[in-house]
Every structure is written in structure tokens, then in C-alpha cells.
Structure 1
Amino acid sequence: MKQSKANSSRFMVWFCAVGAFTLLLFLFPSCKKKPTVEPVSPPVEEETGVSVDLTKVPYAKLSDYRFFEGTMKDQNPVDGVLPYEPASALFTDYAHKKRFIWLPAGTKANYTSDHEVLDFPVGTALIKTFYYDDVQPDGGTRIIETRIMIRKSSGWIFANYVWNTQQTEAYLDMNGSYTNISWLQNGQTKSAAYRIPSETECHTCHKINDQPIPIGVKPQNLNVDYAYEDGTQNQLQKLIAVGYLTNNLPGNIVSTVNYMDQTKTIDQRFRSYVDINCAHCHSEGKHCDYRPMRLAFSETSDPINLGLCVEPEEFINSSLAYIIKPSDKNRSMMYYRLGSVVPSERMPLLGRSIVHEEGLQLLEDWINWKQTCN
């Protein structure tokens, strides 16, 4: 009888233990062993937006800045990279140019004067791509280089990027080089040994009092309309509208004109031409400030600054008696030097290897228009 009770007690203990374990499995299913599952990595998001890290620029590749979207050779700017075009363009062996401005968020440029470069904030990037259309023998487009100026707290720096033959990327190269190119210009084949400038050559033109500075981004040159994707607008007003320029412009900006626009006077056109092509050297504090000419648009209302009836300080030959002789191109030093391709004689010294035929014709027309020294 006692043995039976003991067996019964052991049975009850076993039954309760099994029941309790079963209840735990039911209440806490996480205690069950789960099948092994490989961890899933979060999706990798592509970086977007412009990158101008002042502690790291200049980058090794143009694509590192992320100025453009889609295929980079198409030069489609991302939001915030604003295209622009000065009223008159610098001649560089007939190369076409695409120009862009980018400013860091929350910053603005400021107006200083009509003829001075806008006062851009630290972090600004100015981008200019040089390219040719109708390149021979295939007739396509070839981008040669993209030049960038970046404003650091210590001042502007240069970053020059040379495009590869596949037109997929451009790489930092400040050493300077030549590349041969042929293209169709108004139905005629032209050729040039195009010069990609070195850092020293960049500094020769882009300086004032030996400090690097941009050239073309002046109110006098930007006070013209541009056909943006969202409509045509005055470029200075566009800069204000997108928050890139303080709205403190004067009511009447004395502006240059497109020197190819024959609806403008010959005087306006020629003075605009020498402003964009020559004044970056022939101005106070610039590379050629020891010569008598002062060729900025704001200074060429004085004919002496243009060299009119002024004897040159250096003579190539005795027939060139004046920098500009009214009505006589053959006695005008400027006409001779704009028509020369000899490196020691040509003007400008840098930036061209062939004659700018339209510019030379404009100078001839202006010389013939000027009948006196006044």
C-alpha cells in the first residue's frame, strides 16, 4: 500500500513537470530554436550634391566634385550649379566654352563696382569647360579641359582637369601640355596646337598684385540676358533670384557688349573686345602694367589708354611708329601683334596660337573709323 502511494506521488511530480515545461514553450515561443537567416545589408545610397571640401580640393578627378548629372561629357549641371556667359568671350583658338558658378549653401556674393570681379564667398567654385564641335575627321565634339577656380580662406586656387580620349573623365594636371586639334569653322578646316596651361600660365593672366583672381565674372560683363532652362533672364538678376548675389546693385551698370553684335557701335564693340581679351594683363597691378596701355572697358574712353597715337616702348620694326595709328593699320603695332603667331611677338602672349580673324578685322575697322588722335 505504501509502495503504491509512492509511485503515485512520483507520477504526479513527473506530470506537473512535463505540464509546466509545455506551458513555458507555449508562452515563450522565442525559446524555440530558429532557423539561421543571413543578415541583410541596408541599401547603399549614391552620394548626391556638389562636393567642394576645402581641406581636400583640388580633387584628383573632375567627377569627384559632382557638378554634373548624367553623362559627365554632356555637362548637365546639378541643382545649384548655375550656367553663365559674359557679354563678350575671351578668344582661345576658337574653342567653345561652358561656364558655371557654384556657391556653398547660405552664402552670397557682393557687388563692389561695375568693373571689378564680384566679391565671392569662401567655398565658391567657378567652372569653365573648353571644347570644339565638328572635330575632324569624324565631325563630333571633343572636350579638351575643364578649369576650376576655388576660393579658399587664403585666396583663389587653380585646378585644371584634362579630359581623356574616351570623354568619360578629366584628371587634375597642372603641368601644362599641348594637344593637336582640327575642326570645321564656317565650312573651313582649321587646326591648332591647343595649349592647356600650366599653373604658372594660369597665374600670369589671373592675378592682381600677384594674387590669383578670376577675370570675367564682373557686373559689366554679366548685365545681359541668358537663356536658362526655365526661361531667359538677366544674369545678375538670376544670381539674386537664386540667392547667389546680394540685392544691392546700382540702378545703371555701365556694361560691355557682345563684340560680334553689329547693332552696337564700333567703339563699344572694340572696347569690349580689348577688355575681355587684353585688360587682364594691361591694367594696374596686372602682368603688363608696365606698358602704357590701360585696356579695361572702364578706362578705354580715354584714347591714350588704347595706345592711340602713342609711340611703343619697344620696336619690332621702324614702320610701326605707334601702338595705334589712326586710319593706318600698317603703322599700328597693335594690329601687327594681333596678326602675328610668332610667340615673342603675338598678343595676347598666352591663350592663342592662331590668329583671331574676326578680332583682327574688328581692330582694323576701329583703326579706319578713328580719323584723328582724339
Structure 2
Amino acid sequence: MKRFVICAAMMAAAMWLGGCERGQAPVRFHPQGQPQTLGEWHVLSSDGKHLTLNQGVEPYALNTALFSDYAHKLRTIWMPPGTTAKYSATEAFEFPVGTIISKTFYYPRGEGGAVLRVAEQAGESLDGLDLSKVRLIETRLLVRRQDGWIALPYVWNEAQTDATLARAGDVVPLDMHTPDASAKLSFAYMVPDENQCAGCHSTNNTTRELHPIGPKARHLNRDDPWHAGQNQLTRMVALGRLDGLPAAGVPQNARLDDATASVERRARAYLDVNCGHCHSQVGPADTSGLWLDAGTDDTRRLGLCKPPVAAGQGTGDHLFDIVPGKPDDSILLYRMSSLDPGAMMPEVGRATVHEEGVAVVRDWIAAWLGSCSDDGAHVAMR
């Protein structure tokens, strides 16, 4: 009997750690080096049929997400047991050393090896991902080490059993169409290299340190798709994963697909998450004078009748970033709609145009009143 009790206790402990014989080994934080396969981290595991999350790996969703060629994304956070993140009203939360943030890009499967252009469904990744229904493309890790964050891109193999480090990036040819095949597109999905990952995540142009972009209060303040009736932030507190959440006044971005929200809130949320990490007072595009983050209220900084810092290919021969009431005369919309490498914005991370995002920004600009004088002054409508 004593022997049985000891074995049972050992088994229970192993299961609590997520490392029983038939389950996954515990998540492994690598304080140094660049593991060559995603499997070495034990954050996610796949047997080629199902992608599962390890013990303590929590999924999360954003109000409005960064556009990546219509890819769906399974986002997760793992923190060492007993540690917590610190709340910030405006910046990414301060995560402890050992934190591993993952983002897995995937598409619903279509006919003949094609992928589908459809909206992500609530509960789609509730129990991980059924690989008979989706195709994994890549998983990106942000890892918080003692000296700061590092970014590591991993590309999934054809068998969908593991992903390999792609320091130089990769190109994945895809055929994408809508379920009714009314719209079809062949394009090259670009997996960013390490420098491109750093280019987006170096959100402060002075320090050049990498930081997460999505895990901010305004993006996470929403219902939890995996736990009905719970807010993601209050759930993090309840799990002991977040300190300092105030009882009220937590900022919240609108959702792009929320028809009840104003066009302005939806457009600002979209520009914030897609552009604001670069186009801010301290970001890599600070010298452009075009600041699109959520904290900017100055309409001139938002682009109203603002001439570009540098003319040329990126302007499409337009004179101002935003011309009120005239989206087709606005540089901002031109660059969002372009696939020209010398003009498109964002510069990396997409090979297609986000039609829904462009439509919301178009409606936002169309609703602005007034006009621009030749010298760039905003002339208010009388």
C-alpha cells in the first residue's frame, strides 16, 4: 500500500507539472542560445493531428489585431510559476524574466492544398488546433531573458509536427480563396527574419530595445474567447498573473468588426495596432511627424493636411497624409492600399491588401470636414 501511495503521489506531481510520461514535458525557458526547433521550448506540441498548449500556457486575444495576410493567430503567454506581470495603462505590461510569448500563424484549409480567407471564429482554438482543419505556417516567440527580449521565428514542417528556426526568414507560397471561390489569390507569404522582427518590436527609437506590441491594456481589455463571461485582464489577476490592475479607467480599443463602435474608434484602433508601434513620438518612424498611436490627439500629427517629410514614390504624387473628405487624395490610404515595395505600409508583414481595414480608414477620412490649403493649412468648413 505504501508503495502504491508513493507512486500515485509521484504521478500526481508529474501531471501537475505537465510532465507525466504520456503528456508534455514542462515548458522549458532557455536563458541563452537559439534552440533550433520550437519543440525544444515545450510551449506547444503537435503530433501532426492536433496542436496543443502545455500546462500553464494561456491563450489571449486582442481587440483589433495586426493584419498579416488574413492569417489567423493563436497567441499565448507563459510565465514562470509564481511570477506576475505588472500593469501599465499605456505601454506593454512589464513581464518577468522567463516569460515566453508565442504567436502561431495558421489558415483554415481549403480544397486542393489552398487556404481559406475567412474570419477567425470564436472558440476556434479552444482546445488547441485541429490540424485536419487548419494549416500551420509559422510560430514566432518573444522571450524575456535577463538582458531583454529576443525574437525567434520558427517555420512549421510539411508534416505539421514541429517548426524549425528560420533566422533568415522564409517564403511560403500560398493559394488563398474565399469559401465560395469567388475571390482567389496566389501570393508569397513572408516569414520575417530576425532583423525584421526587431524592426517592429524596437518600439523606442532611442533605446532600440525589443518589447511586445500586443499585450497592452487597451488591446487585452475584452471578453475572453476561451472562458465565457470573463474579461481577459480580470482573469489574469485571478490567476495571479497580473499586478496593479485598477478597478476602473482601464483603456480599451475598439474592435474592427464591431459595427456598434464609431468609425473613428475603429479606424484609430486599427492604425494604433498596425502602425502606432513605429509611428509614435518615440518609435522608429518618429522623424516622419506622423504619429498614429492611440495616445496621439493632435490632428496635425495624425496627418491632417500634413505634407510628407520626403516626397517621391511613397506619396503616389499626393500632397498630404490626410485630405479631409478625400481618402483617394490621402497618402495614408494610398500606402495602405499599395503593394509596391517602395510605397506600401506597413513595409513588412503583408503581401496582400487588408480590404476591411482599408475600408474603415477610408470611411474615417471621408467623414473629416474642411479642406487643405496649398501651404498645408487646414481650412475648416463654414
Q: Under TM normalisation by the shorter chain, which class is it?
A: 0.7 to 0.9
Given candidates 319, 324, 330, the residue that maps to 2:322 is 324
- Residues 316 and 331 of structure 2 are in contact (CA less than 8 Å); yes or no, is this contact kept in structure 1? no
Paired positions, count: 328
- Residues 136 and 183 of structure 1 are in contact (CA less than 8 Å); yes or no, is this contact kept in structure 2? no
Residue 304, structure 1, aligned to residue 300, structure 2: yes
Residue 356, structure 1, aligned to residue 354, structure 2: yes
Aligned to 2:17: none
Q: Which has the larger radius of gyration?
A: 1
Q: Deviations over 1:259-297 (max 9, x none)?
A: 121110011000000001001111133221111111111
- SS of residue in 2 equivalent to 1:367: helix
Report matched runs for 1:185-196 at 5 Å: 185=178, 187=180, 188-196=183-191
Using the TM superposition, give the Cα deviation of residue 331 of structure 1 relative to its aligned residue in structure 2, in angstroms. 1.7
Distance 1:298 1:250, change over 3 A: farther
Report matched runs for 1:194-213 at 5 Å: 194-207=189-202, 208=204, 209-213=207-211
Using the TM superposition, give the Cα deviation of residue 247 of structure 1 relative to its aligned residue in structure 2, in angstroms. 4.3
Residue 153, structure 1, aligned to residue 128, structure 2: no
- SS of residue in 1 equivalent to 2:40: helix
Given candidates 134, 151, 170, the residue that maps to 1:177 is 170
Aligned to 1:224: 222
Unaligned residue ranges in structure 2 (runs of 5+): 1-19, 115-132, 371-377
Residue 142, structure 1, aligned to residue 131, structure 2: no
Aligned to 1:128: 103
- Residues 46 and 160 of structure 2 are in contact (CA less than 8 Å); yes or no, is this contact kept in structure 1? no
> What is the distance in 2 between the residues matched to 1:338 and 1:226?
30
- Residues 88 and 259 of structure 1 are in contact (CA less than 8 Å); yes or no, is this contact kept in structure 2? yes
> What is the distance in 1 between the residues matched to 2:164 and 2:136?
13
Aligned to 2:272: 275
> What is the distance in 1 between the residues matched to 2:292 and 2:27?
37
> What is the distance in 1 between the residues matched to 2:110 and 2:287?
40
Aligned to 1:293: 290
Distance 1:154 1:181, change over 3 A: same
User: Amino acid of the residue matched to residue 295 of structure 2?
Assistant: S
Unaligned residue ranges in structure 1 (runs of 5+): 1-43
Residue 74, structure 1, aligned to residue 71, structure 2: no
Distance 1:49 1:298, change over 3 A: farther
- SS of residue in 2 equivalent to 1:227: coil
- Residues 61 and 225 of structure 2 are in contact (CA less than 8 Å); yes or no, is this contact kept in structure 1? no
> What is the distance in 2 between the residues matched to 1:133 and 1:325?
38
Aligned to 2:26: 50
Aligned to 2:161: 168
Aligned to 1:109: 85
Residue 314, structure 1, aligned to residue 307, structure 2: no
- Residues 38 and 164 of structure 2 are in contact (CA less than 8 Å); yes or no, is this contact kept in structure 1? yes
- Residues 319 and 331 of structure 1 are in contact (CA less than 8 Å); yes or no, is this contact kept in structure 2? no
- SS of residue in 1 equivalent to 2:80: coil
Q: Deviations over 1:157-192 (max 9, x none)?
A: 111111011111111111112111012235322322
> What is the distance in 1 between the residues matched to 2:107 and 2:196?
22
TM-score by length of 1: 0.82
Of all paired residues, the percent bearing the same amino acid is 34
- Residues 257 and 264 of structure 1 are in contact (CA less than 8 Å); yes or no, is this contact kept in structure 2? yes
- SS of residue in 1 equivalent to 2:175: strand
Aligned to 1:63: 39
- Residues 79 and 99 of structure 2 are in contact (CA less than 8 Å); yes or no, is this contact kept in structure 1? yes
Residue 254, structure 1, aligned to residue 251, structure 2: yes
Distance 1:352 1:273, change over 3 A: same
- SS of residue in 2 equivalent to 1:323: coil
Aligned to 1:119: 94
Distance 1:61 1:254, change over 3 A: same
Q: Deviations over 1:50-75 (max 9, x none)?
A: 33333355322112222235636633
> What is the distance in 2 between the residues matched to 1:244 and 1:218?
14
